[in-house]
Structure 1
Amino acid sequence: MASIHPKDNILTSRLRFVKKPWIWVPFTLLLVFLIILTQIDLESIKESLIEKVSSETGLKVEIDEIGFGFSGGLGLQCKGVKVSTPKGNHYSVDRLDLLAAWSPLLSGEFEIKSAALIHPVIKLEIPERPQPPIEKEKPEKDNKEKPEDQPGLVSSKTLQSTTSKIKDTPLTIDKFVISDGQIILTHPGGTKQLLLNVDGTFKLNRAEGMDILAKAVKVQTGSIIFEGDGTVSNLGADNAGIAMNLNTGGFALKEIQPTLQFFGVSLQETPLQAIDVDRLLLKAEFPLNSLSKMEVLKKQMTGHIDVKTRNTILKPGYSIETLEGEATWENGVLSHNFSGTALASEFNLNGKFPFSGLDKDSISRVEWKNLDIGKLPLKEGMAWSPTQGKVSGKLSLTGPLTQEKSQLKGSVEFQAEGLVLKPANEGRPIEMSRLTGRGDFDQGQLQHEIHGNVWGSAFDIKGKVGMDNPVLNSTINWTGLDVAQLPSGEGWQPVEGKLSGTLKLLGPTPAEGEKFPGQLEGSLKFKAQNLKLQNADSALSLKQLEGSGDLKNHQVNYDLKGDTFDGTFHSDGRIILSASGASPPVLNNKIEFSHIDLSQLLTTSEKGNLSGTIKLNGPLPDAENLLTGKLRIDTSFNVTDLSMSAGSVPLNIKHLEGKASLKQGKLTHDLNGSLFGGNMAVKGDLTFHKNKITADSNLMLNHVGLDWAPLIHKSAPSSGTVTGNLKIKGPLPTDEKISPELKLKGSLEGEKLVFENRTIETAKLNFEESTSTLTQVQVELDKIKLEDKNFKKVIALFKITPQKIELTKGKVWPMNGLILLVGDLRPESGSYHLKFKGEELQVEELFPKHLMGSLQFSGAMDGTLPQGKDEPGLPDYSRDLSGDIKFKLVDGAIPELGTLKNFLTLLNPTTALNAQKKGLSYDYLGGDFKIVKGVVHTDNFEMISPQINLNVVGKANLVDDTVLAQVKAMPLQMLDKTIKAIPLLGAILGGGKKGGVIETYFKVHGKLSQPDFTMQAHKSLTEKPGSILKELLNLPKNLGSGK
């Protein structure tokens, strides 16, 4: 058998394959189809297509190139397609694939079964969103009218026109595909653009009606992608409907804001500040014709939404960390069920919401757990702000969501733990260990019940509150409240004690601008034990305090009683409050107190007991006008065994009782008691003015001791008693100044008065009847002792006018002689004038250590008392002093020489020594003195003495303490007698002149208090040797002439 070559086998196999019909028949048919296609005129089809589309749609169409395509089957492929609308919008498609029907194509006609747009670009110009018109305020009656129907999403006319165009369009397209499409939106005349990337497939089903199906639709703007599908069924029929599904993979609010801003949607007036959407699924079905009527759309639309969000922030700072849930709507009702976390608290929200009509009942339920109340973004400036605490609770509401809250029903329950409220000031915070409550809301009223613990007290609040115009009907009970934990304020503060009570409130709360309490009524009952109040200076302890009161028609009635300071008190009455707040409260009260221990009430009191009554009637004035206001105060009191100090003055009052009435600035009083070892009574009126107090009172004293007086003024008597009956009328002294308008009538008599080293046996002051401009006071003092000086009596009559105080008939009786005084003083300026005269006096009674002898003097002085100095001295009194003084001393002596010793020593040491031992006697001492502005002048001050004669001429300045004078001193009296016996010796010693060695001159200068003495040699013995010699030489001549 011959072998076959391999190549021959291969060729034989190929021939067999070719001869099989299922191989070559398709190729043959394909070749025939290609031959047929070459016979089709594409240009005519292009023109036919352009003409058909333009005539049926009104669009201007341009196609750059047309050919066959095989994408999805055999069809036509158009490139460079451009479409323009009559309104100026432009469309372009990079490639348009058209799938045509075969039979019309073979006959030269072109029927499109489907179209695919590859990268179409559509530019649309949409108008700006119109701004909503500014709504004008409508009259109240318009607001009550039925609201107008809301317009639909699409007008009925537009909806019918669009439906007709789609249904009547003769295009045969069954499928429409968009790939990588772009829609560019712009505004007229604007530069902003919004780019939308679109992909999707749309099918038309004309079997029984017309259905439009959208599948795999994808719309993207920026990073946000929306995907879904939808159906428009029975288009053109009455039962046409729309169904759609939409979902997104997630987006943030900041990512969608550019899109919202392009369409003119602003979020500034919405509470939403930030949100991250992780999941959003939306399904909806509704009739097509409902798009033209919003109310119909709300009622007939059904749907479902599934959402999940994170990091939601709402104004003014509320945060919702997570939110997840779903909602369905059907028959105009939205049923929802959401859960999440907000402000670190878990919450659930579910219910039903009738968005098709607010007049229908809605159901809402909210439940939250462990809400951190310190994270609530509360507004600033609140009086109390929560800073700590956890709150859990639930809330349910049922009823229509209209402005008529009376149709809404609801209930609430809550529990709070560790609640801390902090005040706006620096006061102590309020801590509540527990707070629970519940409430039911029905017919516009909230019936509530709250229980809690605060400040160590258990409390509960029960009642009703109206919501439209809050009307209270509540009762608050508390027991064992620790008052020490109450917030601090000004004035008296509770620091100890327990308080229990009940407060009831009934009526509307004060409206805006209305003063408390408005129409609110209330009542209060309370009881406190071991209560202690403290202020900056003192404390008040109340072992027991209880009371009751009620508030109605701006009137408060109260009854209060308690015990304090080992005594009891009781107060009741009425307080009328102003409805507008423009007027002060009006009081009608009575306070009774019994056996109050004053040692506990007053820090200056050692012991004492007080009982009495106070009545208040009238408007309450400001504190500064308490004494001059219209509030009437009536009081009566009884004080026993009081021992206290008034400043530095100790007061010991065995008994004091009285009554007083203050009315419109006038205090009528009647007091009597025993104090300082005597008795006292005062009766009359005090009138209070803005800057002064005027009196019209009678003061009666009976042997009241004066031991306390030096504590008030150092010059007051330290011992003695005072008795008198005095009527006081006029302004009382203020700032230690006595007004000249103050008038006194009556008498005061002091006995055994002691002023340090001075005593007065009796002192009588008789205030005579006064006129409006004159007051006369007769002063009479008996048995006066001033240190080592004694006086038998002093009498003086003072006439006091507003301008001056005049002294008339002033007489002073020392132990010998009489001094007469007349003068006046002008208090306002301090200027005075004084005339005086003394006769038959013994100077040693006035100046016992300095002079002895019989004294006479007279004179007058004018001056001004020093002002503004506590302890003025001689220079202060002498500065404005002027006047004349004349005095005469005879047959006396100078027991102590003082500064005269220096002068006598300089003149003759022997004379000085003898005078120092025995004193210096004189026959005459006196002269005339003139004072001008504190400077004393004299030219005849002379002393005639057995030892020496002196003549002084000069001046002394009392203000500057200086002296400048010349003293002429005569020699010893024995030499003078010798000269008189032998005149010739006198002529020799005198140098032919009078004087000789008989007189010596000295200069007195320096300080007046310690003067210097200087001998003037040119006027004394040292200048006369030549004169004596001359007289000796002339002696024979003189003898001869008989000189």
Structure 2
Amino acid sequence: MALKPSKENSPSSQRKFSLKLWLGIPFALFLVLLVILSQIDLESVKEELVQRISEETGLKVEMESIGFGFSHGLGLQGKGVKVSTPEGDQYSVDRLDLLAAWSPLLKGEFKIKSAALEHPVLKLEISKTQKEPTPTEKEKPADMPGLVDAKTLESTTQKIKDSPLSIDKFVISDAEITLTRPGSTKQLLLNVDGTFVLNRDEGMDISAKDVKVQTGALTFEGDGMVSNLNTDDGKIAINLKTGGFSLATLQPTLQFFEVSTKGSPLEAVDVKRLLFETKFPLNSLSQIEALKKNITGSIDLKIHNAILNIGDRYTLESLEGEGIWDNGTLAHEFSGKALGSDFKLNGKLPFSGPGTDSVSRFEWKSLDLKKLPLKKGLPWSPTQGMVSGNVSLTGPITKETNKLKAAVEFQVADLVLKSATEARPIEMSRLNGRGNFDKGQLQHDVQGTIWGSDFDIKGSLRLPPANPILDSSISWKELDVAQLPLPKGSGWHPTQGKVSGIVKLKGPVPEKDEGFPGRIKGSLKFNAQNLKLESADSAPLSLSQLEGEGDIGNNRVNYKVSSGIFNGTINSDGNITLPASESAKLVLDNKIELTNLDLSQLPIPTTIEKGNISGTIKLKGPLPDPENFLTSNLKVDTSFKVGDLSMPTDSLPLKIQNLEGKATLQKGRLVHDLNGNLFGGKMAVKGNLAFHKNKITADSNLVLNQINLNGFSQFHKSAPSSGTLTGNLKIRGPLLSEGKISPDLKLNGTLEGNKLVLEDRQIESAKVDFKTAGTTQAQVELEKINLGDRNFKKVSAHFNITSEKIVLTNGKVWPMSGLINLAGNLKPESGSYSMKFKGDKLKVEELLPEKLKGPLQFFGALTGTLPQGNAAPGLPDYSRDLSGNIKLKLVDGAIPQLGAVEGLLTILNPTTALNAQKEGLSYEYMGGDFKIIKGVVHTDNFEMKSPQVNMNVVGKANLVEDSVLAQVKAMPLQMLDKTLKAIPLLGQILGGGKKGGLIEIYVKVDGKLSSPSYMPLPHKSLTEKPGNILKGIINLPENLTGGK
């Protein structure tokens, strides 16, 4: 039979016992704690605590009450705590919780383990920052050894170690700290929360947890720790974050700490996220280089709407990324958006100095070029275009560029550049490129499309300490020259054509004061097709083909160019030496070859119907200024051949069947040898011309053979309009100057003209024989001369030409009857002249047709001055300085046309005038003496005897002013006088006993010489006759008796 278990040993009883045990033990311990706490005198603890804190800190502490508290564990809780500093500052704490250590508590002692401050209120004064004076060049500041002085760091560490306070933990809640500055009413309120723990075990650690600092809308949170403070391996760790702030919310804090943002390009920014973490050895604070090397940490940043003012305002829409630093290097990776472009930035940057290698990469996409903050006033600026690309940098960023490595790639689309001065923009549809920079050398390769042409730029650019060294080439294909943004001016500019080519440059880039090209070497090859050039002053110019090549080096350009133009070709080659200084000149050594150029296509004002030219031009020597070209040291050798030239000009149609020759010009001397067929004859000239400042002198031989003079009068009104010219002349001396022939010109040889026509004048033959023997002498002979209605058998004259004057001797003119002898001289410089003349056995009608008839004799002498500076002088101009004497004698002749005499005859006797008008006025004698003084002709004995009338003239005529003032005495009643002479007695009665005609009439002539007026003078004619008749009758007896 089995035994039943007892009641005490049942399972339910055991459970009840366990529950009682667990409830009883804590209760028992609590009772024990109460017993122990009841034994503590809180008042004495308060006094001991206040006294201890005051002694160890030097602060005066007051506490209203103290009791036990359990908010942070078992401890004391003080209220109404006030603290005063020796300087008089006071702080307060609403509640102070002190946590007791258990081990001393069990022994009956109360030792504080931690302290919690509830709403402490502090007011701190920040000392004013002293601005250090700017050091002079001689007083350079010493290098900073570290952020904290080593002695300060050691002293602070030792104070923490030696602190007698046993408190290991501080908890601060809702602290209010007010910062002030001396002498200022500015204040900054900080709200602080946090827990601070001191671990004295082994190395001693100090930590700060859940720290929160807030001022206004700006809040920072984080924690930190200083570990192993007692050892040489002390470290500091800091974590910091903020929920976000803007530059505007940061401004009050910056202003309180007297940090000015004036002048900063940053106008606004919104920080959305900022996380900061760092660790570094404690002793590195006193050694800046050690700090840079051993600090580690990271930063996580996110910002929006950063506004930068750099001339214009630009917005950084966003920036987000992280940076990690370790072993003295910052590894970063950021991305964002700026100027409408997404970008990325990553790499590694050294903390330990610019000499350490760095790696950075910047990448952007679709950047709008017109938003770039470019400097204003640039010659060209983008108005359109998007660019994407990246830039990579590796190596130290120092002035020693040979240690830096870099790479760049970019792509530009639809680029438009606008000039600050030109209206026409540059459009570039594509531009791609890449470059690598290593060991001070930039390797580049750029391609693009511009003006309808694909171009490529590739090569290298070395950047030594001095000026850069270039080794690059530029090639392009089918460039549309019409799209080039060339300035429009009066010169030629391309309007059509395609050009391809390549340019290579190698050598150091010229320095500022060196001038181009300096020591650089280069080469060029190009080919152009179907070029068309236009000018505002000429017809368009077309080149079917143009190609060439050249190189430059050591200040010399070597080149070779050929072109198809004017249905022919032009080839040129040689070299040009560039000036080594500003005062030096270009030196040429080149040749130009012309082959079968069609002269009718030349863009010149004169029209050329047809013709072609071939030739060679060689240039050697310094290039002169245009005004000194003829007298410079540049040597010009040329040879040419012109064929079948026809020019229908307004003056003289020029036709040259053939013209060829050669010439050399140097130092103002032109040696020439030309010959050709032109104007229906042949011409050759050989010799030299010397060019001086104001004149040209010649030493040449001119040969002419049957040159047709048709149309030469178009060149000069005195030139023949037809005829032929043959001659052989040696010409020495100055040529034409200001349109005048110099008297110093020496001529030898002959010129012969046949059948010459000069307006209405004709010369059957003319010959001029030039001789020079000390002076130039010219013998002129003209035969069969027709001057309209006047004919001459022959003219001969001998001229002696000197530099001062031209002397005419033995001049003879043979009209159809009689002879005229001439002699005189002319001073070309002043225009003054003098001449003597004598005509005998002449017929006046041969010299003055239809004016007079009858035999003529005359002689006289004249002096005067030819008009100067008058293109079309008239009689008054020639007469102004005219002086001299002339004697005329005409007998047994007639006046066929009365002209101005008709008015005079009408006054004397209308019947006589009417008859003379029909039949003319005959005369038995007409003549007199004339004296000319400064263009005024005087006479007191001009007389005409005629069957119709006798006249005597006294007076003067002014040829310059076209005026006349004279008195004419006329006796028109010749038939009555004959009757009276037959009856002498009647004559004595009517004549009053005087001899002479019965009636004398006096007439005054004045007014214009070309159209004079006549007025009778009564008191000198009819009014005197009645008295004379009466006197005759009275004296009749005396007259009949013969006075007896």
**Into which bin does the TM-score normalised by the smaller protein fall?**
0.7 to 0.9
2:479 counterpart of 1:481: yes
Shift of 1:48: 7.4
Shift of 1:76: 4.9
Which of 395, 409, 424 lines up with 1:399 in the alignment?
395
Which residue in the other structure is 1:591 paired with? 592
The 1:649–1:167 alpha-carbon spacing in structure 2 relative to 1, beyond 3 Å, is: farther
SS at match of 2:231: coil
SS at match of 1:571: strand
Contact kept, 8 Å, 1:461 with 1:477, in 2: the verdict is yes
2:232 counterpart of 1:246: no
Which residue in the other structure is 2:504 paired with? 504
Shift of 1:336: 1.0
2:538 counterpart of 1:532: no
2:194 counterpart of 1:177: no
Bigger shift: 478-487 or 338-347?
A: 478-487
Which residue in the other structure is 1:986 paired with? 987
2:310 counterpart of 1:323: no
Which residue in the other structure is 1:822 paired with? 823
Bigger shift: 261-270 or 221-230?
A: 261-270
TM-score (norm 1): 0.87
* Amino acid of the structure 2 residue aligned with 1:482: D
Which residue in the other structure is 1:857 paired with? 858
Bigger shift: 457-466 or 760-769?
A: 457-466
Which residue in the other structure is 1:293 paired with? 287
The 1:121–1:770 alpha-carbon spacing in structure 2 relative to 1, beyond 3 Å, is: farther
Contact kept, 8 Å, 1:115 with 1:176, in 2: the verdict is yes
Bigger shift: 973-982 or 962-971?
A: 973-982
SS at match of 1:400: coil
Structure 2 spans left out of the alignment, 5+ residues: 1-26
The 1:381–1:467 alpha-carbon spacing in structure 2 relative to 1, beyond 3 Å, is: farther
Q: How many angstroms apart in 2 are the aligned matches of 1:882 and 1:182?
A: 126
* Amino acid of the structure 2 residue aligned with 1:765: V
Q: Matches of residues 543-942 of structure 1 in structure 2 within 5 Å?
A: 543-580=544-581, 583-601=584-602, 603=604, 604-645=607-648, 648-769=651-772, 771=774, 774-942=775-943
* Amino acid of the structure 2 residue aligned with 1:297: L
User: What per-residue deviation string (whole Å, max 9, x for no partner) do you get for residues 845-880 of structure 1?
Assistant: 111111112222222333333333332222232233
The 1:294–1:263 alpha-carbon spacing in structure 2 relative to 1, beyond 3 Å, is: farther
**How many residue pairs get matched?**
994
CA RMSD of aligned residues (A): 3.7
Which residue in the other structure is 1:68 paired with? 65
The 1:921–1:440 alpha-carbon spacing in structure 2 relative to 1, beyond 3 Å, is: same
SS at match of 1:387: strand
Which residue in the other structure is 2:470 paired with? 472
Q: Matches of residues 362-511 of structure 1 in structure 2 within 5 Å?
A: 362-426=358-422, 428-468=424-464, 470-489=468-487, 491-511=491-511
The 1:128–1:793 alpha-carbon spacing in structure 2 relative to 1, beyond 3 Å, is: farther
Which residue in the other structure is 2:9 paired with? none
Bigger shift: 824-833 or 343-352?
A: 824-833
SS at match of 2:772: coil
The 1:183–1:697 alpha-carbon spacing in structure 2 relative to 1, beyond 3 Å, is: farther
SS at match of 1:861: strand
Shift of 1:472: 3.2
The 1:239–1:429 alpha-carbon spacing in structure 2 relative to 1, beyond 3 Å, is: same
* Amino acid of the structure 2 residue aligned with 1:485: Q
Shift of 1:753: 1.0
TM-score (norm 2): 0.87
Contact kept, 8 Å, 2:100 with 2:110, in 1: the verdict is no
Shift of 1:132: 5.0
The 1:958–1:377 alpha-carbon spacing in structure 2 relative to 1, beyond 3 Å, is: same
Q: How many angstroms apart in 1 are the aligned matches of 2:528 and 2:139?
A: 56
SS at match of 1:119: strand
Q: How many angstroms apart in 2 are the aligned matches of 1:828 and 1:521?
A: 59
Shift of 1:964: 1.8
Q: Matches of residues 116-265 of structure 1 in structure 2 within 5 Å?
A: 118-134=120-136, 151-172=145-166, 174-175=169-170, 177=172, 179=174, 181-184=176-179, 186=181, 195=188, 197-201=190-194, 203-208=196-201, 209-219=203-213, 224-253=218-247, 256=250
Contact kept, 8 Å, 1:804 with 1:827, in 2: the verdict is yes
The 1:806–1:110 alpha-carbon spacing in structure 2 relative to 1, beyond 3 Å, is: same
Contact kept, 8 Å, 2:188 with 2:256, in 1: the verdict is no
Contact kept, 8 Å, 1:482 with 1:498, in 2: the verdict is yes
* Amino acid of the structure 2 residue aligned with 1:341: K
Contact kept, 8 Å, 1:120 with 1:178, in 2: the verdict is no
Which residue in the other structure is 2:301 paired with? 307
The 1:617–1:170 alpha-carbon spacing in structure 2 relative to 1, beyond 3 Å, is: same
Contact kept, 8 Å, 1:91 with 1:123, in 2: the verdict is no
The 1:828–1:727 alpha-carbon spacing in structure 2 relative to 1, beyond 3 Å, is: same
Shift of 1:949: 1.0
Contact kept, 8 Å, 2:42 with 2:66, in 1: the verdict is no
User: What per-residue deviation string (whole Å, max 9, x for no partner) do you get for residues 541-594 of structure 1?
Assistant: 332333332333333322333332222333222223345565333222222222
* Amino acid of the structure 2 residue aligned with 1:387: T
The 1:365–1:324 alpha-carbon spacing in structure 2 relative to 1, beyond 3 Å, is: same
Q: How many angstroms apart in 2 are the aligned matches of 1:762 and 1:751?
A: 4
Bigger shift: 96-105 or 885-894?
A: 96-105
SS at match of 1:959: coil
* Amino acid of the structure 2 residue aligned with 1:905: T
Which residue in the other structure is 2:998 paired with? 997
Structure 1 spans left out of the alignment, 5+ residues: 1-21, 55-60, 139-146
Bigger shift: 692-701 or 712-721?
A: 692-701
Shift of 1:943: 1.0
The 1:1030–1:663 alpha-carbon spacing in structure 2 relative to 1, beyond 3 Å, is: closer
User: What per-residue deviation string (whole Å, max 9, x for no partner) do you get for residues 976-1025 of structure 1?
Assistant: 22333333222221234445733121111222212222221112124432
Q: How many angstroms apart in 1 are the aligned matches of 2:895 and 2:655?
A: 53
* Amino acid of the structure 2 residue aligned with 1:934: G
Contact kept, 8 Å, 2:175 with 2:193, in 1: the verdict is no
SS at match of 2:64: strand
Which residue in the other structure is 1:962 paired with? 963
The 1:38–1:411 alpha-carbon spacing in structure 2 relative to 1, beyond 3 Å, is: closer
Q: How many angstroms apart in 1 are the aligned matches of 2:506 and 2:781?
A: 75
* Amino acid of the structure 1 residue aligned with 2:327: N
* Amino acid of the structure 2 residue aligned with 1:748: L
Which residue in the other structure is 1:53 paired with? 57
Bigger shift: 638-647 or 217-226?
A: 217-226
SS at match of 1:943: strand
The 1:846–1:473 alpha-carbon spacing in structure 2 relative to 1, beyond 3 Å, is: same
SS at match of 1:965: strand
Shift of 1:274: 5.3
Q: How many angstroms apart in 1 are the aligned matches of 2:98 and 2:1025?
A: 174
Q: How many angstroms apart in 1 are the aligned matches of 2:856 and 2:576?
A: 78
Contact kept, 8 Å, 2:971 with 2:997, in 1: the verdict is no
User: What per-residue deviation string (whole Å, max 9, x for no partner) do you get for residues 114-144 of structure 1?
Assistant: 5567332211223334255355899xxxxxx
Contact kept, 8 Å, 1:128 with 1:264, in 2: the verdict is no
Q: How many angstroms apart in 2 are the aligned matches of 1:167 and 1:770?
A: 131
* Amino acid of the structure 2 residue aligned with 1:524: L
User: What per-residue deviation string (whole Å, max 9, x for no partner) do you get for residues 341-373 of structure 1?
Assistant: 222221111112222243443222222221222
Q: How many angstroms apart in 2 are the aligned matches of 1:92 and 1:737?
A: 117
Q: Identity of paired residues, percent?
A: 59
SS at match of 1:974: helix
Shift of 1:788: 0.7
Shift of 1:253: 4.6
* Amino acid of the structure 1 residue aligned with 2:441: Q
SS at match of 2:953: strand
* Amino acid of the structure 2 residue aligned with 1:310: H
SS at match of 1:635: strand
Contact kept, 8 Å, 1:119 with 1:178, in 2: the verdict is no
Which residue in the other structure is 1:18 paired with? none
SS at match of 1:649: coil
SS at match of 2:718: coil
